[in-house]
Amino acid sequence: QKEVEQNSGPLSVPEGAIASLNCTYSDRVSQSFFWYRQYSGKSPELIMSIYSNGDKEDGRFTAQLNKASQYVSLLIRDSQPSDSATYLCAVTAGTGGFKTIFGAGTRLFVKA
């Protein structure tokens, strides 16, 4: 079992819709959770961080964390073509020196 799992996609949504990206992780004592956006040919860019159960909103982005289910998600409201990218989930493990593990990413395509 991979430590951080994401559906590779592509996830295709129409412009203006809500895009829902999901991630599960295996280390129960993980402490910090992140979403990065990576445009094709570019480097990952941190867009959201979440540390406790519940929702965290930042503009059109909402991160959701459920530690009991070992699940973290990213919602993008009013999706725009410029949101088309690969979204990487990252989890900072609570064991083994607090290293950060990245998922392989979900490709999102927003159709105009």
Instruction: Note the residues at the interface with another protein (CB under 8 A).
Output: 4, 8, 31-32, 34, 36, 42-46, 49, 88, 90, 92, 97-100, 102-105
Shortest distance, position 49 Cβ to another protein, whole Å: 5
Which residues, 6 or more positions from 109, have their beta carbon under 8 angstroms from its beta carbon?
A: 9, 10, 11, 12, 13, 84
**Rounded distance between C-alpha atoms, residue 93 and residue 91, angstroms:** 6
Which CB atom, from 8 or from 15, has the smaller least distance to another protein? 8
Shortest distance, position 15 Cβ to another protein, whole Å: 27
CB atoms under 10 Å from CB of 12, counted, come to 13
Which CB atom, from 43 or from 52, has the smaller least distance to another protein? 43
Which CB atom, from 34 or from 79, has the smaller least distance to another protein? 34
Shortest distance, position 14 Cβ to another protein, whole Å: 27
End-to-end CA distance of the chain: 36
Which residue's structure tokens are 């559906």?
7
